[in-house]
Structure 1
């Protein structure tokens, strides 16, 4: 199975691109439109689709990871530029002891038990920020076969929106987000590959969970 990374540079003069960039619900729908529609009840999982948007000096970029190359010819006219490349060489290079750079925009949460929720009047899912989010990430990194060496985090705006399932009341979507960057040593290649393929945490359909890695630059 080939893993693909697609970078789309939206043209902000495009009304379609601006509308998609304004909300994760619309961006999710746009991305799913680039894949076959007859993929069963969970096409996002079927095609291993993870994505995130990044602000760069040149403007917003969209990164899509998938196990099938998206058909970017289906993007609206003048939407922007797109380039897909396989990640086979990167995946094949994963080995224990290798130092990598990582980035992940994730939705750190904790799920208190029923007794704790009742005692403190907490919701079923509690978003984490600051030091609590950092601790969450370090646990996720360990479960993903990584030993972080350096680590930096900063909060991003939460994903908000409303989705309307067929024949069901509207569902309000909200995922708090934190961006985690740093370097790490690979400890377990199987766990790392699983984290890359499956993503990390909640909100994967709405721009959270994509773990990107690259070999760390060697000091000059």
Structure 2
């Protein structure tokens, strides 16, 4: 297994029925992405595989960004899309305190409702939006070793798991783009490997970095 994750950029084929199904159904998308990692990983296979992904859509194309410890796009359905895989080792090697970066991440900002101490149960999870979501991201980024300078939020289409065993929870997604300075390279490396926040099986949590001076 690789010391550092690899990343695959998969330009999706809009004519593929599998792609069309997955773009409508977050549960199916998760199942398809899991086909790129080894079998027999035991319990919590997504976590063991280090699998994170993000869907990026424009007016002309849809691209799936997939990160994992050991990816093989050959496991995707035939005709699903064109994949390019590269190592993230150079990126991890470049992480230095004080280094300026550009970032992108899709997150599911949420908090658990507080209940009176007399109630012996957990409060429901509440999605955050607006300034509350921005503050959530600032706190998480700080914990992840980033000092944010620019924060540009973009509201994404929400996802809801489907299927008989799926929860009824609706995942509200926000994309954040901006610039930051690295304050803790070790914490940042772990955040890149593990992802940030909830909703990771549904396209949230993958933190992408690039030098701020890059075009």
TM-score (norm 2): 0.92
Q: CA deviation at 1:64?
A: 0.4
CA-based RMSD of the aligned residues comes to: 2.0
Q: Write the deviation string for residues 118-173 of structure 1: whole angstroms up to 9, x where unpaired.
A: 8xxx95111000111001100011000000011111211111122444xxxx5324
Residue in structure 2 matched with residue 15 of structure 1 by the alignment: 17
Residue-pair matches, total: 211
Q: Please list, as runs of the form range in 1=range in 2, the aligned pairs for 1:12-161 lying within 5 A after superposition.
A: 12-68=14-70, 70-115=71-116, 124-161=124-161
**Distance in 1, Cα, partners of 2:113 & 2:54:** 28
SS of residue paired to 1:195: helix
**Distance in 1, Cα, partners of 2:112 & 2:148:** 24
**Distance in 1, Cα, partners of 2:49 & 2:214:** 34
Kept in 1: contact 2:33–2:76 (CA 8 A):
no
Unaligned runs of 5+ residues in structure 2 are none
Residue number among 205, 210, 214 corresponding to 1:214 in the alignment: 210
SS of residue paired to 2:149: strand
Kept in 2: contact 1:129–1:155 (CA 8 A):
no
SS of residue paired to 2:150: strand
Unaligned runs of 5+ residues in structure 1 are none
SS of residue paired to 1:172: coil
**Distance in 1, Cα, partners of 2:171 & 2:55:** 15
